[in-house]
Amino acid sequence: MAWALAILGAALIAVGFYVQAQVNARNAGLEFAGIRTTGTVTPWAIGLVGGICVLIALIIWIMSLQPNRPVVLMGWHDDPRDATMLRYHDGAAWTDRTARKT
C-alpha cells in the first residue's frame, strides 16, 4: 500500500508541475498581448496533496520497519524460564518478582 500511495503522490506532484507550466505558458501569452493575469492556486494544491501522499507513504514504510513485539499485559503470567513459577510483567518488561504456582 505504501508504494501505491508514493506513486500516486509522485504522479500528483508531476501533474501539479505540468499544470503550472501550462498556466505559465498561457499567462505569458496573455501578458505579451497586454492582458493582465493572476496566478492560480490549483497547481500548488495538486502538488501539496501529492506531497502529503508521499509523506504518508514514507511514514507507513518507516512504521513497517519496526519489529513487532508480542504484547504482554501487566500482571502475573507463566514464567518464560520456569514452568513451575509465575513472573510479574509490568506492561513493559518482565520483573524479578516471582511466585510459585499453586
Q: Do 55 and 92 fall within a single domain? A: no
Range of the domain at 85: 70-102
Q: Do 12 and 55 fall within a single domain? A: yes
Q: What predicted TM-score, i.e. pTM, was given to this entire model?
A: 0.53
Write out pLDDT tens, residues 23-54. Answer: 888 888 887 777 777 777 788 888 899 999 99
C-alpha dist (Å) from residue 25 to 9, 13, 17, 46, 48: 24, 18, 12, 18, 21
Q: Do 9 and 48 fall within a single domain? A: yes
Write out pLDDT tens, residues 41-95. Answer: 788 888 899 999 999 999 888 888 877 777 788 999 999 888 899 999 998 888 9
C-alpha dist (Å) from residue 101 to 6, 22, 73, 74, 81: 53, 76, 19, 18, 14
Q: Do 6 and 54 fall within a single domain? A: yes
